[in-house]
Structure 1
Amino acid sequence: MQMSDQKEIAAPPAEVYAALLTPEVLKACVPGATEVTGSPEDGFEATVTQKVGPVKATFKGQVTLSDLVPGEKLTIAGEGKGGAAGFAKGGAVVSLAPSEVGTLLSYEVEAKVGGKLAQLGSRIIDGFAKKMADQFFVNLQTHLAPEGEESEVEARASERKKGWFKKITGA
């Protein structure tokens, strides 16, 4: 499976970069994470419980970081085993660039799954991976946004919704 996307995050690149290297932030942002320990230098160990289609499993895995360029780029490689459910392994290249909102985060992921997970089919796996990535970035934005302050990204989305509603109702 391959996936790439870009997300706007309302925080400066240095802050986003630091958040991506902090176990507590990762635990708060990764959907289903129950434990994340380690450091950027030694790598992280994580426990994540997820349900993919009919398969629910707890994955234990290791993540290593390389090509660290503070505030700009990092490469992630990881592998997790979920017992009878199977395994997942892969990597991602994450790039950060200043933007009007704060940071434009771009990522390219390549992953492989095996076991019962692989039997679900690529359509289910791809949809699940996209949903997990989207939820991670929503959680990251929420974590980085100041208390009680709507992010510029959320404000733009809200304005688009209001504009659409206004066109239909004429209000």
Structure 2
Amino acid sequence: MRFDGEFELEDVPPEKAWIVLSDPIAVRNALKGCKYITPKDEDFSFDDYEEAEDIETLPEADPDVVAARAFEEGQEYAALMQVGVGSVKPRFETTVTIQERDSEAFRMTATGSGSASGSSFSMDSGMHIHPHDNGEGSRIEWWTEADISGRIAQLGSRVIDPVANKIVGNFFGNIEEQMSEVDEETDSSVTDRLRGLL
């Protein structure tokens, strides 16, 4: 199944959009059903891991802390997702690898896979942040190719597509709110410093 689209941020420049979308905590907070996104090593256990609560994001967070936890090319991340699809509400234990992270072109791609009781999926996804055509703001192009099997796949695209579209719509709405706060409350010197660190 393929999902793709574009999202426009009228007043947020690509540089600030990139900073927010590079922060796993900001992404987790915006993604409904996501319990955590954290770097994954050989000893990681989905059953034992507990995410710290009340982790600050920009504009309140220390820019050095945000830069230190930013997504890294080649790094594996564990993500726990719980999303209701029809009468099914699986808990997906997901591993995501950042394949490409180009901070000059504002482009990031990732691959991932996950499983839950009776269902599994694999995906290739990415985003590319462009300057808005009118010269202000950003235009975010995103895409996901997903191969879904098991109980969820049996529900069919008629059930899956509206759920996926709702998740994406909520995500970008939440991200826009975070980005607007960063744009309004973070001065350009902090943004420039973060860009250098990222």
TM-score range, shorter chain: 0.7 to 0.9
The correspondence for 1:60, drawn from 93, 109, 123, is 93
Secondary structure of the structure 1 residue equivalent to 2:89: strand
Deviations 1:112-155 (A, max 9, x none): 111100110111112211111111101101111128x7xxxxxx
TM-score by length of 2: 0.69
TM-score by length of 1: 0.79
Aligned to 2:31: 30
Instruction: Read off the aligned partner of 2:181 and give its amino acid letter.
Output: P
Aligned to 1:157: none
* Residue pairs, 1:130-141, within 5 angstroms: 130-141=165-176
Change (3 A) 1:137 1:67: same
Question: How far apart are residue 58 of structure 1 and its match?
Answer: 0.9
Aligned to 2:109: 75
Change (3 A) 1:96 1:78: same
- Which moved further from structure 2: 13-22 or 113-122? 13-22
Secondary structure of the structure 2 residue equivalent to 1:96: strand
Aligned to 1:90: 123
Question: How far apart are residue 2 of structure 1 and its match?
Answer: 0.9
| Count of matched residue positions in the alignment of Structure 1 and Structure 2 | 147
User: Considering only aligned residues, what root-mean-square deviation do their CA atoms show, in Å?
Assistant: 1.7
Secondary structure of the structure 2 residue equivalent to 1:56: coil
Bigger proportion of residues as strand? 1
Aligned to 2:16: 15
CA distance in 2, matches of 1:109, 1:54: 24
Deviations 1:1-43 (A, max 9, x none): 1122110124221222222221111110111111111242413
